[in-house]
């Protein structure tokens, strides 16, 4: 598949990714702001399975890693903007909040939502990632081989 | 796909689809008996599609069932919502369709739909026909499997339709049909014999 090059698509991909990785109660803190709009559930939050595929390196053949649970939701605001969400796990309220966030982020107040919602979430995720990487790096083992000096 | 045209479907996607499927099953098992969808299981009306037609579309269509739309139903709103909620491919050639959504103006020509084959007659196309009402036409006598003696049914259909049905019925190959109006549905499987010419009516 060709990677998306349209900047509007890549920025939306980024915030949908950030919303999908938002942990537990992080979205709940914005619940009142997110729900402060008239909206309609086009597809009420529903739980299903999706197949995860992977491949070894850039040239390996694709294989099925396994199935995982996802929750998806689609909402529409009164002005016709639709928000979509796909989250890992079985948390329906969180899927609804993430879909609402996606809808708000496509509107005129995009900068406001990016600054108050997406950036803090992205920073928290980057921090968690860095902590995890640091914990992993501490267990790194270096292997040395002696130069045999054949030439 | 135009996201602004999307609207909600069944309130309870699993149970409402099962209830609608059950109604469709009963309608084909007892041809000519009218079934009414309960208020709670009806999807919201979709531009041009009655509640019963919409409910059957949502219950029967999925990614494996190519759908043929007659011109009256080939609107952006119907296309967008069926693509979103059912994911069914929409085909332009009648012979590729597993289901077809027709209105009254199409009933004088049923040619081109897949009748199935002798080994797999079940692979035929099923017609979903939306009518203004399920009564008010000439009262005809229906016989056959699922009918104890006879059912009197007064669908507002022309003789041309019944001739077309006869021409495309080569048992076990043939077309099964649902007639839909408002919240009501009525089934007409290929096995039902309809006394429609003058001698039989007398």
pLDDT tens digits along A11-55: 999 999 999 988 878 888 999 999 998 999 999 999 999 999 998
Domains by residue range for chain B, with CATH:
12-201 (3.40.50.11310)
Per the model's pLDDT, the better-predicted residue between A147 and A96 turns out to be A96
Confirm whether the ipTM is greater than 0.85: no
* Minimum Cα–Cα distance from B86: chain A residue: A43
How would you label A30-56 residue by residue, b for 16+ Cβ within 10 Å and e otherwise?
Answer: beeebeeeebeebbbbeeeeeeeeeee
- Asked if A42 lies within 8 A of B4 by C-beta distance, the reply is no
Entry pTM: 0.83
pLDDT digits (tens, 9 = 90+) for B117-144: 999 999 999 999 999 999 999 999 999 9
In chain B, what residues touch A76 (CB-CB under 8 Å)? 3-4, 6
Taking an 8 Å cut-off on Cβ atoms, the answer to whether A46 and B7 are in contact is no
Out of A42, A46, A80, closest to residue B8 by CB: A42
For testing contact with chain A, the best of B6, B44, B85 (most A CBs within 10 A)? B6
- Looking at residue B31, what is its pLDDT? 95
- pLDDT tens per residue, range B33-77: 999 999 888 888 788 899 999 999 999 999 999 999 999 999 999
Spatial separation of the C-alpha atoms in residues A63 and A53, rounded to whole Å: 6
Residue B197: which pLDDT band, with cuts at 50, 70 and 90? low
Q: Do B3 and A76 touch (CB under 8 A)?
A: yes
CA dist., res. A31 & res. A41, Å (int): 16
Cα separation of B155 and B134, whole Å?
Answer: 5
Q: How confident is the model at residue B147 (pLDDT cuts 50, 70, 90)?
A: very high
Is B199 a residue whose pLDDT tops 50?
Answer: no
Which of A40, A41, A43 should we substitute to test contact with B (largest number of B Cβ atoms within 10 Å)? Answer: A43
- Read off the DSSP letter of residue B156: -
């Amino acid at each position: 598949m060709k990677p998306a090059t349209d900047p509007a698509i890549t920025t939306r991909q980024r915030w949908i990714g950030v919303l999908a990785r938002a942990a537990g109660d992080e979205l709940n803190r914005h619940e009142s702001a997110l729900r402060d709009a008239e909206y309609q559930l086009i597809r009420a939050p529903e739980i299903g399975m999706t197949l995860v595929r992977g491949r070894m390196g850039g040239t390996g053949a694709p294989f099925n890693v396994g199935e995982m649970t996802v929750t998806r939701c689609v909402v529409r605001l009164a002005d016709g903007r639709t928000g979509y969400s796909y989250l890992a796990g079985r948390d329906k309220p969180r899927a609804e909040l993430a879909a609402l966030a996606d809808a708000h982020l496509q509107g005129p107040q995009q900068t406001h939502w990016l600054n108050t919602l997406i950036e803090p979430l992205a920073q928290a995720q980057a921090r968690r990632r860095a902590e995890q990487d640091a914990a992993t790096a501490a267990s790194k083992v270096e292997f040395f081989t002696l130069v045999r000096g054949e030439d | 796909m135009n996201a602004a045209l999307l609207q909600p479907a069944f309130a309870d996607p699993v149970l409402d689809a099962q209830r609608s499927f059950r109604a469709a099953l009963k309608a084909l098992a007892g041809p000519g008996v009218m079934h009414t969808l309960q208020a709670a299981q009806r999807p919201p009306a979709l531009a041009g599609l009655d509640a019963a037609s919409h409910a059957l579309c949502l219950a029967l269509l999925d990614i494996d069932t190519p759908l043929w739309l007659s011109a009256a139903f080939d609107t952006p709103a119907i296309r967008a919502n069926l693509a979103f909620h059912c994911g069914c491919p929409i085909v332009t050639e009648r012979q590729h369709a597993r289901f077809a959504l027709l209105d009254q103006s199409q009933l004088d020509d049923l040619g081109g739909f897949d009748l199935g084959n002798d080994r797999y007659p079940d692979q035929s196309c099923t017609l979903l026909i939306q009518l203004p009402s399920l009564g008010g036409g000439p009262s005809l006598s229906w016989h056959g499997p699922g009918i104890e003696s006879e059912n009197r049914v007064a669908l507002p259909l022309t003789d041309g339709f019944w001739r077309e049905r006869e021409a495309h019925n080569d048992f076990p190959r043939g077309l099964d049909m649902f007639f839909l109006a408002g919240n009501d549905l009525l089934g007409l499987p290929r096995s039902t014999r309809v006394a429609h010419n003058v001698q039989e009516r007398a």
